[in-house]
Amino acid sequence: MSGLNLAQQEAVNYLHGPCLVLAGAGSGKTRVITHKIGRLIQSGVEGKRILAITFTNKAAAEMRERARALIGREAKDVVICTFHALGVRLLRQDGQVLGLKPQFSILDQDDVTSIIRDAAGGTTDAATARQWQWTISLWKNMGLNAQQAEAQAKDDNERVLARIMGKYEERLAAYQSVDFDDLIGLPLKLLHQHEEVRAKWQKHLGHVLVDEYQDTNATQYELLKLLVGERGRFTAVGDDDQSIYGWRGATLDNLKRLPQDWPQLKVIKLEQNYRSTSAILRAANNVIQPNPKLFPKTLFSELGEGEPVRVVDCDNEEHEADRAVARIQSLRANGAGKDWKDFAILYRANHQARVFEQALRKAQIPYKVSGGQSFFDRAEIRDLCAWLRLWVNTDDDPAFLRAVTTPKRGIGHQTLGALGEFAGKYRLSLYGALFSSSLPSVMSARALGSLQEFGRFVNDLEYRARHTLGAEDARRFLTDWLKDIGYEQHLLDSEDSEKVAASRWSNVMDFCDWMAQRCGGQIEDTAGVQVASERKSLLEVAQTIALLSTISEREQDQNVVTLSTLHASKGLEWPHVVLAGCVEGLLPFKIDDDDINRGQTSEGILQRLQEERRLMYVGITRAQRTLAVSWMKRRKKGRETVAATPSRFIAEMALDKATVREDPREKLKALRAEFALKSAASAAAAAAAAKGG
Ligand code: ATP
Ligand code: MG
């Protein structure tokens, strides 16, 4: 119980019923979860019966690390993962009752787009398909299937889309594949419809803990409810002021529903912030103040007033980046921040990262971009993942198509078209159709030969991957396989620049290393010490990769400056933060002032503005010791450069005007003005004295 205040202790000790910790930023909510895991183990709950749900894979990795430091070995069995990873577990174990094989595939966004295009007849452009994907996803998150979506459709367009959704769902079932929304929707269906499965999980789970509860959506809430049952042994922690995923369907209703669904709910509030200085906390409290209050709360800090929050005026994006870098350098030079990892630059949109990257590179400062393009979104990694997916699930048609054509092996569109038609007619997967006795009637012997050779190759790889155990063997296997398919040559052939090909190949090598590491045996722990770990087969590891979005869980230990979107900064903290791009149009994002001024403040705009304000609050509260908020007078908007005005949120922070400006020119101006005032005053005094005399 050391390192916990009384309210935190109360939350940690409350083991036998539903508990909600509702508190502002930096008040130790996540800390409550980690400590409560320890307390549960201490009270005799087995590690494997404890489930902690985090918002990202990275947060899960960090919590695992903390739990291990706090509890030791026994933390090993605790399940710490995201809602989506939990869905995978549930479906792998019990999805058969829904007709899903345990080796089902998880489709990424690109696969989904192309299946939707295909379902719509193949002539749709990618942008429209993505729009549709978005709507279908929203429907799924509302718990609607295709028929229900059609029944509630508002117009013909929606009715057409609902029918496309129906075809899309049929294809997913045929491919034994699920999309990201299914990872919540299907487990929900599973637990809802199958009482024996539900009873099993409810009995199994001793306690469920949920971090960042304010950003759960309606289906996640239902899932949680079915998992914990009436007994409701769970702990949810959250902050309504930090709800920033409304645009993706997260709903604060989930906070309101808890006390209704569990009248015995214990609500605990935490009021002390342990992260930020008073100056930073005051700015945060001021910013969030105009938002309607779901649960009023007050936050205080005992870390002292600290440095005033600075506003940095810049001319344009480049100037802003230079000033951020200069600030980091000077803070480091005067000893305020020892390590590069003490600094973060946060911004609203991914594209803002580029100028900061350039400035940091110029200054030779190491950095990482988080929340940007994930390693797993790179084409070369997606190629390899398609192969792995195919070993795991030969019915995964999208993976089949990618693997059979990457690298090219002389199997063309026509052959694949004929195969696809044949498979569709006999309701087989593409792979399943390869060895059908009537396939020879629809294609040439040569085409058939190449296809079957590919099939045998995949079969052989699957067999070997299943029997490859431990890091060393896995590394050897992967190297041989890449040589067999000629992947390095493929990169050289498909890239104009050798340098680009080499960098892609180096990503491939990183990926193989990382896969191999996960197969266990001897691995390095975070301190670089060799430790023994359980050996897993390469196939087993391949089953889990579709979910991961970061290559290395050790990334957070790197001593580098962090560049991050505000969304991806949730839950994290840094001693020094620069909150960049605080101009109208960027933060708040794309909210047209004219709309508001013209009195067209629709409910929708107002809600978006409130969510942007929460985002600003999240940004401010990431800072521990210093915070600078920067804005620029002119900014790029598409190809144009336009005049920009400071974000309304800067004014809302209500900073002390005398101390906030950081621009030296501004300071000079202020000094001059002060000097002018003083000399005017002394001149006036002299004049008065002369008169009086
Ligand atoms: P957020 O709302 O941003 O997710 P949080 O409420 O989850 O924040 P934590 O990240 O758990 O807050 O804690 C914030 C910081 O305060 C951490 O550095 C944590 O170690 C520290 N902290 C939390 N509780 C205490 C405590 N009782 N004593 C000392 N330090 C604490
Ligand atoms: Mg937290």
Check: CB of residue 354 under 8 Å from CB of residue 571.
Answer: no
Q: Which stretches does DSSP call E strand in 507-648?
A: 521-524, 530-533, 561-565, 574-579, 623-632, 634-637, 640-643
> Do 526 and 594 fall within a single domain?
no
What percent of the chain is predicted at pLDDT more than 70? Answer: 91
CA 255 to CA 295: how far, in whole Å? 10
Residue 486 belongs to domain with CATH number? 1.10.486.10
**pTM over 0.75, yes/no:** yes
Number of domains in the chain: 4
Q: Which residue from 85, 77, 31 is spatially nearest to 55, judged by alpha carbons? A: 85
Are 340 and 479 in the same domain? no
Rounded distance between C-alpha atoms, residue 392 and residue 386, angstroms: 10
Q: Please report whether residue 291 resides in a domain.
A: no
Is residue 555 predicted with pLDDT exceeding 70?
no
Residue 49's contacts (CB-CB under 8 Å, 6 or more residues apart) are 204, 205, 206, 207
Catalytic residue among 62, 94, 181, 211: 211
Name which residue sits closest to atom 16 of ligand 1, judged by CA.
274
Of the listed 622, 625, 635, 648, which one is catalytic?
622
Round to whole Å and give the CA distance between 650 and 25.
19
Q: Which of 542, 571, 592 is the last residue of a domain?
A: 542
In this predicted structure, which of 160-169, 399-408, 621-630 has the lowest mean pLDDT? Answer: 399-408
- In this prediction, residues 608-633 reach a mean pLDDT of 95
Same domain, 569 and 665: yes
Q: Whole-angstrom Cα distance, residue 562 to residue 369?
A: 6
- Of 448 and 603, more confident: 448
Asked if pLDDT for residue 32 goes beyond 90, the answer is yes
Q: Last residue of a domain, which of 145, 175, 205?
A: 175
Residue 555 falls in the annotated catalytic set: no
| Measured distance CA(161)–CA(146) in Å, rounded | 9
649 and 577 co-located in one domain: yes
Nearest to 161 by CA among 194, 141, 139: 139
User: How large is the average pLDDT for residues 149-172?
Assistant: 92
Please confirm, yes or no, whether 220 is among the known catalytic residues: no
Decide which of 542, 569, 592 is a domain's last residue: 542
Question: Are residue 69 and residue 204 in the same domain, yes or no?
Answer: yes
pLDDT at 596: 56
Note the pLDDT of residue 546: 61
Residues above pLDDT 90, as percent of the chain: 52
Distance CA 415, CA 443 (A): 7
Residue nearest to atom 9 of ligand 1 (CA): 28
pLDDT band per the 50, 70, 90 thresholds, residue 194: very high
681 Cα to the center of ligand 1, angstroms: 50
Residue 248, H or E segment: none
Q: Identify the CA nearest to 56 among candidates 37, 87, 81, 32.
A: 81
* Residue 450 shares a structural domain with residue 478: yes
Instruction: Compute the average pLDDT of residues 60-75.
Output: 88
Q: Same structural domain for residues 386 and 519?
A: yes
Kindly state whether residue 457 falls inside one of the protein's structural domains.
yes
30-39, 88-97, 291-300, 325-334: lowest mean pLDDT where?
291-300
Segment 352-398, tens digit of pLDDT: 988 998 899 888 899 888 765 566 667 888 889 889 989 988 988 88
Give CA separation, 232 vs 54, 77, 209, in Å. Answer: 18, 22, 11
The first and second tokens of residue 11, run together, are 């939350």
Among residues 625, 626, 621, 615, the alpha carbon closest in space to that of 582 is found at 615
Q: Is the pLDDT of residue 648 over 50?
A: yes
Q: How far is the CA of 297 from the centre of ligand 2 (A)?
A: 16
Closest CA to 580 of 310, 365, 249: 310
Query: Quick one: tokens of 588?
Result: 């708040």
Token pair recorded at residue 530 = 């060799």
Convert the pLDDT of each residue in 325-343 to its tens digit: 999 998 998 888 789 999 9
Residue 212 is given by DSSP the state S
Residues 329 and 358 in one domain: yes
The reply to whether 75 and 115 lie within a common domain is: no
> Does residue 408 surpass a pLDDT of 50?
yes
CATH number at residue 167: 1.10.10.160
What local confidence, expressed as pLDDT, does residue 115 receive?
A: 83
Q: Note whether 625 and 306 are within 8 A (CB).
A: yes
Q: Is 28 a member of any domain? A: yes
* Residue tagged active-site, from 94, 179, 212, 473: 212
Query: Around 343, how many Cα atoms within 13 Å sit in the side-chain half-sphere?
Result: 26
Q: With cut-offs at 50, 70 and 90, classify the pLDDT of residue 666.
A: low
For residue 246, the tally of other CB atoms under 10 A from its CB is 17
The answer to whether residue 681 sits within a structural domain is no
Of the listed ranges 275-284, 470-479, 554-563, 613-622, the least confidently predicted one is: 554-563
The span from the first CA to the last CA of the chain, in angstroms, equals 74
- 529-555 burial code (b ≥16 CB/10 A, e <16): eeeebebbbbbbbbbbbbbbebbbbee
Q: What are phi and psi of 133, to 5 degrees?
A: -55, -40
210 Cβ neighbours under 8 A, 6+ residues apart: 52, 53, 216, 224, 234, 235, 236, 237, 238
**pLDDT band at residue 405, thresholds of 50, 70 and 90?**
confident
Q: Ligand 1, atom 15: nearest CA belongs to which residue?
A: 275
Q: What is the distance between the alpha carbons of residues 500 and 510, in angstroms, rounded to a whole number?
A: 15
What span, in angstroms and rounded, lies between the C-alpha atoms of 396 and 201?
28
Closest ligand 1 atom number to CA of residue 5: 27
- Using only the alpha carbons of the chain, give its radius of gyration: 28
Helix (H, G, I), strand (E, B) or coil at 106: strand
HEC string of 501-543? HHHHHHHHHHHHHHHHHHCCEEEECCCCCEEEECCCEHHHHHH
452, pLDDT greater than 80 = yes
Residue 549 has pLDDT above 50, yes or no: no
Residue 277 known to be catalytic: no
429 in any annotated domain = no
Preceding amide of 187 cis, omega within 30? no
Catalytic residue (one of 103, 242, 517, 626) = 242
For residues 535 and 568, state if they share a domain: no
Distance of alpha carbon 469 from alpha carbon 615, whole angstroms: 45
* Residues 70 and 213 grouped into a single domain: yes
pLDDT confidence bin for 1, thresholds 50/70/90: low
Q: How far apart are CA 326 and CA 314, in angstroms?
A: 13
CATH number for the domain that contains residue 568 = 3.40.50.300
For 634, phi and psi rounded to 5 degrees? -130, 140
Is a pLDDT exceeding 90 seen at residue 29? yes
pLDDT of residue 195: 95
Residues 6+ positions from 250 with CB-CB distance below 8 Å: 214, 215, 216, 217, 243
Nearest CA to ligand 1 atom 14: 26
483 catalytically annotated: no
Q: Which domain holds residue 112?
A: 105-175
Omega before residue 102 within 30° of 0, cis: no
Residue of 31, 209, 622 to mutate, ligand 1, most atoms within 8 A of C-beta: 31
User: What integer is the mean pLDDT of 211-239?
Assistant: 93
Q: Three-state SS across 13-41?
A: HCCCCCEEEEECCCCCHHHHHHHHHHHHH
- Residues in contact with ligand 1 (CB, 6 Å cut-off): 3-5, 8, 25-31, 239, 242, 274-275, 571, 573, 621
Whether residue 361 sits in one domain with residue 306: yes
Q: What is the mean pLDDT of the chain?
A: 87
Residue type, 426: Y
pLDDT at 671: 62
Q: Which residues contact 531 (CB under 8 A, 6 or more apart)?
A: 522, 523, 524, 525
